[in-house]
Chains A and B, each alone.
Chain A
């Protein structure tokens, strides 16, 4: 076969047209996902069965099924129900963008809540006991003592999930969205050059991943500056 190296370069600007959608998908999904994740986490660690069980079920369902299936259920499945099409949610679910944000947010919230739970469980018991000895109430202890430490502990795993989310946005191309992958697939079906075009798309994802990786690295350094070994405090 002929490998056209120039095609990679010349298609980059075209494919980058999908960057906006990809970034918007990520921004909405990670933000909503994080808020949901905190709620699920609070339910999960509440110690009350009627809150814990639903949270566990939610996590089990969303972690145990492929995101693609979740997108298809939301995009193709829900509109089959008449009441969904007449509900207030229809303006969101009518749009493929809305469906993808819903699916990606729900999916990432399940993972993130588990990541955060890992952080909370990692907080040393003694710290909590010391705070209690100082007379801090349970909510105060959670907000001022546990949370900062838990966030620091959870950050490396969270950055992993963040980059996974970036890659998961490519699934949006299966429901007509023209994100990076969607644009690439359209170009491929016109040029019949899948190798070059998808390599170009991969390069854009790699560039984004690099930015996020460096960003999270910096954030970890910043949050961990007091705990670094050998750091003079």
Chain B
């Protein structure tokens, strides 16, 4: 073999090696429940769908990785991440101080918010233009709220004189809203939309406040969970999420399932609808 041929074949081999490396791109294993509609669930055809799934796909595409879904029950989710059964948790997991001690989180890809529900067409004027509650508007209203929820703490702090009714669950509260026992109720707008507003039960009701998001009460939001000690991965995931937020993709994903925004940065413009 001449020298020249040798160099040529070596070059081909090198190119081949690079090509295989690209083809065998990094695979990200993503843990989720696979049963938590509309965030992560199997569509009737069997394919994974939902807001979390869209976010995972978007992130994987931007960082050039392949996706592999790992279905995991909620109570074993963090242990499974820590024992390397998957690389990321994309399962609507809220960022809390307690969890941050065990693992890292990306920036939030979904917000934690509360919103008031009330009868349609009453023009209650509960909030001013700056999104602050108007005390006097609440004076003659009975307000439903779940016992010891973040919403209850917010009301106690912001509307100390409000006439509140404490419920053990959102179901009973929304039932009483429908029956006219409470005039307005505050809860998670996503849940309220799925279980109430989008059904016959809630046909005569609507959101009567802007989204309330004060972090000291509602928390930072939902993020992607990552094992500790992987600063590089955190950085890449955060970069991808930033792009998805800035180019409006997260907003678009959310609107597939909800008629209002559920992603950071965008939802503020929603207001009363």
Contact = CB atoms under 8 A, between A and B. Distances in A.
Interface of A: 76, 79-80, 85, 94-96, 174, 176, 178, 182, 185-186, 189-190
Q: Which 5 A-B pairs have the closest CB atoms?
A: A189-B148, A79-B179, A176-B165, A190-B148, A189-B147
A178 B148 CA distance: 14
A55 B163 CA distance: 40
Contacts, number: 28
Contacts of B167: 176
Interface of B: 147-148, 165-168, 172, 175-176, 179-181
A186 B166 contact: yes
Contacts of B176: 176
Given A176-B166, A176-B167, A186-B166, A85 B179 contact: yes
A178 B180 CA distance: 19
B147 A186 contact: yes
Contacts of A186: 147-148, 166
Contact of A85 (B165, B166, B168, B180): B180
B170 to A, nearest CB: 13
B166 A76 contact: no
Secondary structure at the A interface, as helix, strand, loop or mixed, is helix
A94 B180 contact: yes
A76 B181 contact: no
B179 A185 contact: no
7 contacts: A76-B175, A79-B180, A94-B180, A96-B181, A176-B166, A186-B166, A190-B148
Contacts of A96: 165, 181
Nearest to B179: A79
Contacts of B168: 174
B217 to A, nearest CB: 14
A154 to B, nearest CB: 38
Contacts of B179: 79-80, 85, 94
Interface centre among A176, A178, A182 (most CB of B within 10 A): A176
A80 B181 CA distance: 12
Contacts of A174: 168
B166 A178 contact: yes
Given A176-B166, A176-B167, A94 B147 contact: no
Contacts of B180: 79, 85, 94
Nearest to A192: B148
A33 B184 CA distance: 34
A79 B181 CA distance: 10
A19 B181 CA distance: 23
A189 B172 CA distance: 18
B199 to A, nearest CB: 15
B166 to A, nearest CB: 6
Nearest to A90: B180
Contacts of B175: 76
